[in-house]
Each structure stands twice: as C-alpha cells, then as structure tokens.
Structure 1
Amino acid sequence: MSHASGEPCLLAMDGGGSKTLLVLIDRRGTVLDVRRGGGTNPFDRPNWREEMAGLLADLPRGIVAAGFGMAGYGGSPAVSAGQEGMLAEWGRCPYVVRNDVDIACVGAFGGGEGILLLAGTGSMVWAADPDGHALRVGGWGNLFGDEGSAFWIGREALGTLTRALDGREPEAVSFIEPFCRFMGFPDDPGAIDSALLDWYGGLRHARSAVAELTRGVESLAAAGNGPARRIVEQAAAHLAGHVDAARRRLQRPALPWCEAGGAFRNASLRRAVIALCGAPVAPLLPPVGGAALLAARRAGGDPDAAWIAGLATGLTDAGLFGPASS
C-alpha cells in the first residue's frame, strides 16, 4: 500500500518501545499508506531518532496535520524536549504530540471518558473523566515500577527460579523443571546455573528478552503449575491496583476500562484482571487511530461517531485493528 499523490491527508504515528507504526489516511479516514519500524522509546532505544527519521523520510506532499504518540513523552522534561525538537525540525505540518498511552486512551474511547490499562513490556494507566480531567498511573519503567507487565512477570519468573534453585523458596521447586524446559536449559540440575548465566550474558536487549518469558509463565499457569499461577495472580493484582487508583483519584468508581498491550494475550492474566476490575469495554480504535483522531482535530475537523467507525473499518481492513492485527 502506498500513497504518492498530493491529495490532502493526515499522518498518525504510534511510537512504542518495541515497534513504531506510521499511517497516512485521507480526511474521510481511508488508509492510504502504512509504514513500520523498530521501537522509538528514548529511555531504552539509543537509535530512536534514526528509526523515526527513516519512517518520516520521503513522505508525500499534502499532509495537512499529524498526530504523534511517543513512548516516554511527557515524563522527563529532557526526553520530551528531545522528542519535540526532532518534530520541530521535521516541521512538515501542524501536529500534536502526546504520550503513546495517551493516544491509546483517546483511540479506545474515541476521545471520551475511560481508563486505558496498558500491560505490554511495561505497565501504565491513562484515564480521562467526562470533564476532561486526565491522569496517569504507573508508567515508571522497569527500574521503579512496571508492576504486572510482561517484563515484571518475566523478572518474577527468573526470581522464582533462582530462589527455588537456592532452596530459599522450596514451595516453588515444581517450577524449576518446566520453566527450564521452556528456556531450553539442560535437564541436569547441576548445569542450570551456568546455562542461566550464559543466557543472561548473551542478552542484547534485556528488557524485551525478559518480557518474552511471560509466554512460559502463561503456559505453565494454564497447565496448573502453582508457582506460575501465583505470579499471574500477583501481576493481576498489581494491574487492578492501577485501575483502582485511577477510579479513586477521579472519584469515578464505575469509570469503564479498556485493555491494551501484549501481556493481555496471557489468558490467565486477563481473566484474573477481569475478576478484580469487572469486564472491559471494547476499544473503538487502536492507538494509531487515536493519533489519527488528534490529527483530524488539529486539521480543524470535528470527527463524529460515523468518522470514527469508518476509520475503524479502514484500519481493520488494513490489518491494523481487530483479529487481523493480533
């Protein structure tokens, strides 16, 4: 799919920690072009500028407004200034820049009220009430937080493994053999220590690699492994705490919530969070759709429910929303 004409169009970008998606749409919400790149989170992607520059290169004429969702934006003033500086240098058109979880919330609720609970490599809530008040809960990164995230689950799995190997957590001994099998470690108990340290020493991007371990925890939890189930239950309690905090702070105990992020592919985790928070609502748009909605407004438009539904259909047909995008 490509778009080379100069007809008026909108640019939407969802820049996350693991991947970045850029979409061009026309004013009716029809998808014209799709570009994909690597992660652009300045906190753990030293080459984020190069990734963004590659996606923004050789764009067609006719872009009238843009919406950017950028990981890490709005937290550190220095990081945000760097992101704003790059966009100012690009300067092709009027634009809006928000945190990537903010645009996910805008997309999920069509710019209306609700709580977006993100559980991907990291964890975070973005919430908005009917009066336009917005707040963030979590999003502190793996050093300070990210409780309940895929990274947190993977780190807890490694901690459970090492404590069981040491004998510090004898009740978790049933975790050793199946989790080591998932990691491809030898069956010989005496060789596990060196295999684990070799794995650790060979990591290129530790945060992503640890987050990937959630797949093993999910598999073991689904099979009834007790230690794995405890990790999932603890992760769900942390994520539910994010939602509870947002509802309390906004004084809206029934504020609806919506899920986002790869950690929710863990069926056990999803069920446990629903048991604590109630059933989530279905998102109206994916995160990049939230960026498109902001771009449409920046261009002077007033997107209504029909426009949002049309955009959702276009993004679904392009494989960017719904079952085709999973």
Structure 2
Amino acid sequence: MEPKKKMNSYILAVDGGATKTTLSLRDASGKIYFEKTSTSTNYQAIGIEKAEKAFSQLLHEAYEATGIQDIAVAAFAVAGIDTKKGQTIVQQIVEQSCRKSLFRIQHIIVENDVQSTLIGLTGNDAGALVISGTGSTAYATDGKGRIERTGGWGHRVGDEGSGYWIGREILNTVFRYEDGRLQKPTVLKDLVYEMLQIDHIEQLNDWIYQTNYTNAQIAKISTVLSKAISLGDERAIDIACNAAKELVIMTDAVLRKIEPIHEGFIVYLNGGVLKNNPVILKLYKEYMMEQYPHISFDLCNQNPIDYIANRALRSLK
C-alpha cells in the first residue's frame, strides 16, 4: 500500500467511453499508482444504474489497490455529454459514485470526453481537436476559456467523415453496384464480401439488419477503403475525398466560431480514420491549408487517458 501524501498530491482521471472506461490514479508528477480499463459507462447504452455501478467498482478497486484517500481533482471525461440534460444526468451519476467511494475528493470535473481531451492538449493556448473514429466531431478553444463545438450529433443525423459514415457509403456503393445503378465496376464489393465472408447481396442485407447491429460494425467496414484506393478504385477515391471534405467543413465551422486564427495555431487530430487512412489524412491537410495556410497539425499518439490526466493536472496549477 502506498503511503499517504499531503493533500493536492493526487488526481483521478476517468475516460468514460461508449464501449469501455479507463480510470487512472496519478500524482502531480504524473506517476501512475493505479490504472484499469473496464466496461462502458455510457448511461444511454447501459442505463443509469449500470453506469453508476461501473464507476463505483472502478473507484473501489483504485482505493483498495492504493490506500490513497485524499484526491485533489477527479476529472471524469464521459462520452455522450452533448446536451444540458445529458450533463445533469452524468453529473448525478458521477457524484453518487464518488459519494459511495472511500475517496475524499476536493474537486470533481464532469465534462464531454472530447472537451476534456482538448483542454489536456492545449492548456491555456488556443487550439482545436478534430476526431474521426466511429463518429466525428470538432472542438476548438481560444485559450481564454471559450470552447466551441461542431458536429458530434450521432449517426442518425451526422457523423460526416467518420468511420461509420465511410462504412455506410461503402455499403451503399455495393448495393448500387449489385443493382446495376453504377456504370463502372468497384472492388469495394469483393473487399466487403471477403471481410464478412459472404458471397451474395442478400447475405449482406441480412448482416446489416441483424438484431445485434451496432454502429461500430458499420464503421469497421471503412477499413477496406485504403486497400480499394491502393487498387485505384474510383469510387473508393471519391469516398475518401468526400470524407476529407466533410471533416474540413466541420473544422472550418468550429474555427470560425473562435476567430481570429493566429499563426502557430495547432489542430490536433485523433481517431482511427485519420490515423489509419493516410489518403484521407493527406487530403484533409491539403484542403485545410488552402483555407488556413498558417496552421499546423499534430496527430495524437498517446493513450486517451493520458490526455484526460493532463486535463486534471492542469487544473491543479
């Protein structure tokens, strides 16, 4: 058991994602005393009671493993906090979980996970964070406390340029090809069929409308895009160009909310689409530089929990 230190030495960082949750207990120097990943804490997906139970279990395990009791800051960065109603619900879940724990927490922060990550990245500087993973969103700050957002409204009405959006575009292409609505052939059909181990359009339809359907499954289809592009598939190239353009539109919209954009402004990039599809990343940067020639880009390579920990540590200063 770690010996106790004086107050304000320790922080808790919690990355509450849609599919998993990571809790990390660190001191002000960044030393990690406990870190564990568990199940989802998204109340919209699993319900309020299960979300609270998941948070409580992680907090309990952290205390049992370290014996540390006094926590200066606990930063809960949770996916799905997109409205005032969502903020209130998650705030109540987190506060109830903390009350049940044996920790004495001086300050609790509950906010959208992308906003937390942005603060962890930029600190007191102006900057933006663009994410294209299963979904897509963009946040920007002027470095003076103002934070703006664009996108992130979910697959039913948005998520343009995301893995889900790309996957849906690929599937639409396959159906259009099989129907005879495309004049040119596309290798996307063969790549999708190979990935899903099917050989008929009806099997693809059955897969899409299966009872255990998830957005992540559709997003996974996007991984065939790079190979199709390498084979010179015109439709795949069009999808990549359109994805990059959608991400640029989203980025431009959020940057215009915090104008002016000065030289040295950094746009941080994260998410599987931008990390794993070099063509989309290249096109995105080229399109952005046409509008903002003085900005720079930084592809995030740390674990998400590290950015949340930085956000908590910055609040100590």
Deviates more, 1:217-226 or 1:166-175: 166-175
The CA distance in 2 between the partners of 1:177 and 1:291, in whole Å, is 41
The residue that corresponds to 1:269 in the other structure is 280
1:10 is aligned to 11
Shift in Å at residue 76 of structure 1? 2.7
Deviations 1:275-322 (A, max 9, x none): 112451355965433432343355xx31xxxxxxxxxxxxxxxxxxxx
- Partner residue of 2:32? 31
1:197 and 2:198 aligned: no
Could you tell me which residue of structure 1 aligns to residue 292 of structure 2? none
CA deviation after TM superposition for structure 1 residue 199, in Å: 1.5
Deviations 1:100-147 (A, max 9, x none): 001111122234210100111110011001333210010101111000
For 1:146 and 1:183, the matched residues in 2 are separated by 23
State the one-letter code of the partner of 2:271: G
- 1:219 corresponds to which of 218, 221, 227: 227
Q: Which residue of 1 aligns with 2:146?
A: 133
Q: Does 2:94 correspond to 1:82?
A: no
More moved, 259-268 vs 54-63: 54-63
Q: Following the alignment from structure 2 to structure 1, what is the Cα–Cα distance between the partners of residues 191 and 309?
A: 44
| Post-superposition CA distance 1:28-77 (Å, at most 9, x none) | 1112221112333334444544433332233323233211111112x233
2:300 is aligned with 1:292 = no
Corresponding residue for residue 60 of structure 2: 57
Judge which range, 235-244 or 34-43, deviates more.
34-43
Amino acid at match of 1:81: T
In the alignment, what sits opposite 2:135?
A: 122
State whether residues 87 and 111 of structure 2, in contact with CA within 8 Å, keep that contact through their aligned partners in structure 1.
no
Q: Cα–Cα, structure 1 residues 160 and 43, in superposed 2: closer, same or farther, change >3 Å?
A: farther
Distance 1:219 1:282, change over 3 A: closer
> What is the CA–CA distance in structure 1 between the aligned matches of 2:154 and 2:117, rounded to whole Å?
18
Deviates more, 1:51-60 or 1:280-289: 280-289
Question: What is the aligned length?
Answer: 292
- Percent of aligned pairs sharing the same letter: 26
Report the RMSD for the aligned CA atoms in angstroms: 2.3
Q: CA deviation at 1:257?
A: 0.4
SS at match of 2:18: coil
1:209 is matched by which residue type in structure 2? Q
**Secondary structure, counterpart of 1:178 in structure 2:** helix
Which amino acid in structure 2 is aligned with residue 96 of structure 1?
Answer: I
For structure 1, the 5+ residue unaligned runs are: 187-191, 303-326
1:260 aligns with 2:270: yes
2:75 counterpart residue number: 67
Structure-2 separation of matches of 1:124 and 1:21: 21
Q: CA shift at 1:273, angstroms?
A: 1.1
C-alpha distance in 2 between matches for 1:268 and 1:202: 32
- Quote how far apart the aligned CAs of 1:162 are: 0.9
Moved more, 55-64 or 283-292: 283-292
Partner residue, 2:293 = none
The structure, 1 or 2, with the larger RCO (C-alpha pairs under 8 Å, 6+ apart) is: 1
Residues 1:160 and 2:161 aligned together: no
Mapped partners of 1:294, 1:107: distance in 2: 4
User: Where do 5+ consecutive residues of structure 2 fail to align?
Assistant: 290-295
What TM-score do you get using the length of structure 1 for normalisation? 0.81
- Aligned mates of 1:164, 1:245 — CA distance in 2: 34
In 1, Cα distance between equivalents of 2:51 and 2:169 = 28
- In 2, Cα distance between equivalents of 1:209 and 1:48: 23
1:70-99 Cα distance to aligned partner (Å, 9 max, x none): 1112x2333222211111112341211111
In the aligned structure 1, how far is the partner of 2:43 from the partner of 2:161? 22
Tell me, what secondary structure is at the counterpart of 1:171? Answer: coil
Whether the 8 Å CA contact 1:108–1:290 is kept in 2: the answer is: yes
* Residue equivalent to 1:101: 114
> Aligned partners of 2:192, 2:165: CA distance in 1, in Å?
16
Structure 1 residues 213, 170: closer, same or farther in 2, change over 3 A? Answer: same
Please list the CA deviations of residues 164-199 of structure 1 after superposition, one character each: whole Å capped at 9, or x if unmatched.
Answer: 11122333544322332232212xxxxx12211232
Instruction: Give distance in 1, aligned partners of 2:206 and 2:250.
Output: 35
Q: Is the 8 A contact 1:15 1:40 kept in 2?
A: yes
| Contact 1:115/1:125 (<8 A) preserved | yes
CA-to-aligned-CA distance 1:186-218 (integer Å, 9 cap, x gap): 2xxxxx122112322435241110111111122
Separation (CA, whole Å) in 2 of partners of 1:71 and 1:23? 17
- Match for residue 145 of structure 1 among 158, 174, 178: 158
In the alignment, which residue of structure 2 is the partner of 1:324?
none
